[in-house]
A and B are shown apart, each in its own frame.
Chain A
Amino acid sequence: MKTPIIEFNDYTFRYDAQSEPTLYNINLTIYKGEKIIIAGPSGCGKSTLISCINGLIPFSFRGQAYGEVKIEGKSTLDMSIAELSKRVGTVLQDSDNQFIGLTVGEDIAFALENDCIPLPEMTERVKGAAQSVGVGDHLSHAPHELSGGQKQRVSLAGVMVDEVPILLFDEPLANLDPATGKSAIELIEQIRKERGVTVLIVEHRLEDALQRGADRIVLMKEGRIIADCSPNELLSSDLLLKTGIREPLYLSALKYAGVSVTPEKKPGNIGEMVIDPEDSQRVRSWVKSIQKSAPKEKKTPIVSLKNVSFAYQNGKEALSGITSEICEGEMLSLVGKNGAGKSTLAKLICGFEKPARGEILLKGEDTAKLSIKQRAEHIGYVMQNPNQMISKTTVKEEVAWGLRLRGYSQEETEDKLNEILKVCGLYPYRNWPIGSLSYGQKKRVTVSSILVLSPEMIILDEPTAGQDFGHYTEIMEFLKNVNSMGVTIMMVTHDMHLMLEYCERALVLSDGKLIADDKPEKILTNSDIIEKAALKETSLYELALKCSLEEPGGFVGSFIEYERSFKGHE
């Protein structure tokens, strides 16, 4: 017998600061022990939905609500946020800032401290919760000694000390490298099985979230639920494409090949999916039909790294013996797990840090003597969060600022500014206040403010982190355009899709060493590198094996080739 545990009855919510409701007439029942994935593009209301369940709405965020939300049969209005927190545990997206304590143990104990639990009992319960998520040996560690995945586990333990029956995860994969994301999904499944808790995962990376299955997917768009069905049913429909959510890559490939996807084929998971001989045949002939473009000729290097090493003040080596070249006009990515040295390498190239040994050449000349500013004439750096870069109040002022600082005349500034704003599609917004722009537009502003200084190369730190498919495509297509104007682009990223779709080349770092420098499709089909760099095998590879293709590695390349030619025509 299924018992409802979360019920939304005709629920509508509008934030006080907004004129339109964020949620419209939500009717949703979630039963005890279910695992639900809530998907939808940014701004569809999925985070608001989560806030209605954990009590941030109506207790912290003010607004107008109609209808009711019941948790375990009791309206949330009749409870306090504290009472709700004993039923609903929330793991927020940002694992850095929800780490409140100074050590793992203290952070897990936070809720217990607030309940005034005496020390001996607290210590016991903290130990238990830490062990159940695999951080039992790290109780005295500080947050900066932990990896992103470990921090997330600590947050999870911090809500599990309460033995809550409902766990909410807000974009648990957003800040993790692919392999860690995979183990996070596995851990969630394991806890669900052991404790019989109800699990809600908000995530737009559907393919990764579905790795260990789900009972239902609730698809949201513009404040409404537009689908509430099993993964197999949803993936057989065209609703994902219509909503702007990326469908799993293996499904795209099957659809390109003309295979019809039905719920009976169990498309929810590549491992379980049924692919009959006829389908395999279709895939094989599709692959044959894809024409391979000629490899590009070797270009002149813009940055050459010669045996570059770097060590922190405490003597720990962050990079050792990196030798590579970045060529003019390339679009490449720098990947590897957290702490592998990706950001350090980017900072060395920009001159923010100095290498301990080795040389960095810029078009053949040693850069050791160049200041940050001088180097920036050639190489621009775009930080991950646009809010960290924007200092001015309007688009025009922000983009022109670098020019003014460099003492360009009013006329020159105006000319360059207008040119860049047009190229970047920001001209119509030039007088807008920055505050009224979307995240994607702000990102464009920061890229433009660097491009206006006409560097030959730009380095971007996680250009698409936390973005849904729509924004991701917007940002990446924009960068592709910039690249086609001749600007070399290097991106530090966790996103395997980004690397596959947009880069001709990827550098892979692991423990401060360069372990691969190859085409992304080659890297993502090499299990040795995948394991060392905490990457994840692409589902395309698995599909290729299932269809018994002769060259499973080549399949990934062909798929990318096909998608690029097809996107070019759009």
Chain B
Amino acid sequence: MNNFFNYIDRPSPIHKITGAAKLVCLILWTFAAMTSFDTRFLAAVSILGVILFNVSGISFKDVKAVLIFTFGFMAFSAVMLFLFSPEHGVEIYSTRSVICELPGKYALTKEQLFYQLNVLVKYFATVPVVILFVSTTQPSEFAASLNKIGVSYKIAYSVAIALRYIPDIQREFTDISRANQARGIEMESKKISLVKRLKNSAAILFPLIMSSMDRIQIIACAMELRRFGEKSRRSWYHQRPFALPDWAAMALCGVLLAISFLLFKVNGSRYYNPFI
């Protein structure tokens, strides 16, 4: 089964850290990586991310679909960035070292290249940990942790339920799509045009939506019959108190954020400038 964005159960120290601690770590980590433009720091954080990935026992193959999607998006945004603001790097680093002139007003500068490299590294520093968080945190523990940091439990639970039903809906989609292929809809063949393929997918979506609506109705009743939403607070079966590894993980991420702030001071700005 090709899991696009889902929990993958493996025995690992990362899986053992409680959901709430992981969520705090994720927030600290992404905040650190998002604010800083210090290449050295971002590179170090990226490497740390890949190491964590290894520790978690999740292989890149497991999350291939998301990775391909993200890299595609990264490539696309890099091109767009260059097309729309080719001189942004020059503005930031306040020098202009042209490598070669390009048609129109475009020119390839070292500063722009360096700036775009920084953006790229930023993605590398954040995307793997986001994937890591989702694939090592059980949806209900995720809900519990959202609730712990102050999100209403009703919202938190609907997020968890949505995550929980993704595999079911994927399975149903496969079944419906095959039954329809048997009736003569071309889905996988490359011979047909994109428009037609989209139209055909819509024909599968209709029954999928109808049966998902039935499902939602039943789940809603089942939840209500067991008092969901009655009180303003609830407890969580999957909630665990913080233990030493949780504190350690959060401290580590806190340190990361502190370093990124410290670098502001050292560099005099968010950017590390090798050109002066």
Q: Chain A residues in contact with chain B, CB under 8 A?
A: 54-56, 59-60, 80-82, 85, 90, 92, 94, 96-98, 100-102, 105-106, 109-119, 122-123, 126, 158-159, 313, 347, 350, 352, 372-373, 375-376, 380-381, 383, 385, 387-391, 401-402, 405-406, 449-450, 453
Contacts and interface: CB of A to CB of B under 8 A. Distances in A.
Contacts of A381: 179, 182
Given A376-B184, A390-B206, 5 more contacts: A110-B226, A115-B231, A116-B234, A387-B210, A388-B208
Contact of B219 (A97, A115, A373, A385): A97
B172 A388 contact: yes
Nearest to A60: B224
A372 B182 contact: yes
A133 to B, nearest CB: 16
Contacts of A453: 183-184
A126 B238 CA distance: 13
Nearest to A51: B221
Contact of A85 (B179, B207, B226): B226
Nearest to B2: A313
B226 A406 contact: no
Nearest to B218: A97
A406 B184 contact: yes
A372 B233 contact: no
B176 A388 contact: yes
Contact of A117 (B175, B181, B235): B235
A383 B180 CA distance: 10
Contacts of A402: 183-184
B251 to A, nearest CB: 25
Given A105-B237, A387-B207, A100 B219 contact: yes
A350 B181 CA distance: 11
Contacts, number: 144
B20 to A, nearest CB: 14
12 contacts: A56-B221, A98-B222, A100-B226, A106-B140, A110-B226, A373-B184, A380-B182, A388-B176, A389-B179, A389-B180, A390-B207, A401-B183
Nearest to A434: B210
Given A100-B161, A391-B207, A106 B237 contact: yes
In this complex, the member of A101, A112, A388 whose beta carbon has the largest number of chain B beta carbons within 10 angstroms is A388
Contacts of A59: 224
B227 interface: yes
A375 to B, nearest CB: 7
B211 A388 contact: yes
Interface of B: 1, 138-140, 161, 164, 168, 172, 175-176, 178-186, 203-204, 206-208, 210-211, 214-215, 218-231, 233-239
Contact of A119 (B1, B178, B228, B235): B235
Contact of A118 (B139, B226, B235): B235
Contact of B140 (A82, A96, A102, A158): A102
A98 B139 CA distance: 17
Contact of B227 (A60, A111, A347): A111
A391 B203 contact: yes
A60 B233 CA distance: 21
Contacts of A111: 226-227
Contacts of A375: 182
B42 to A, nearest CB: 35
Nearest to A89: B225
Contacts of B140: 101-102, 106
Contact of A100 (B178, B223, B235, B239): B223
B230 A114 contact: yes
A391 B204 contact: yes
Contacts of A117: 235
B153 to A, nearest CB: 9
Given A100-B223, A114-B228, A405 B184 contact: yes
A463 to B, nearest CB: 14
Nearest to B223: A100
A90 B227 CA distance: 12
A98 B218 contact: yes
A387 B175 CA distance: 12
B227 A101 contact: no
Nearest to A382: B179
Nearest to A347: B178
Given A60-B221, A81-B224, A90-B225, A113 B235 contact: yes
Contact of B176 (A98, A115, A350, A389): A389
B181 A373 contact: yes
